[in-house]
Amino acid sequence: MCMECGCGATNGNTRLQFNAEGYTEDSAKDVEKTLLGLPGVMYVHIHAHDGETTIDYNPKKTKLTEILGVFENHGVNANI
């Protein structure tokens, strides 16, 4: 739970867990940094070697299409 505003898993957040194709070590770091810069994205964890990706976000602050756009812009295919 965020100490700043009190948001957390019990306040309408969504967790995405999926595999993505096309990560390199550098692109995984770039995707993570970009996602964490979006409003409402609180957690991102990426395993570049197998594409396993976890994102916790507030869909009232960031739309899924915005998240998917980050992957597209980095040449990564998110299999959601």
Kindly report, residue by residue over 23-54, the tens digit of the pLDDT: 999 999 999 999 999 999 999 999 999 999 99
For residue 4, pLDDT over 90 is answered with no
Mean pLDDT of 52-61: 96
State residue 1's pLDDT score: 47
Confidence of residue 78 (pLDDT cuts 50, 70, 90): very high
Share the mean pLDDT of the chain: 89
Could you give the domains of the chain? 14-74 (3.30.70.100)
Could you give the CA distance from residue 72 to residue 42 in angstroms, rounded to a whole number?
20
Could you give the CA distance from residue 56 to residue 73 in angstroms, rounded to a whole number?
20
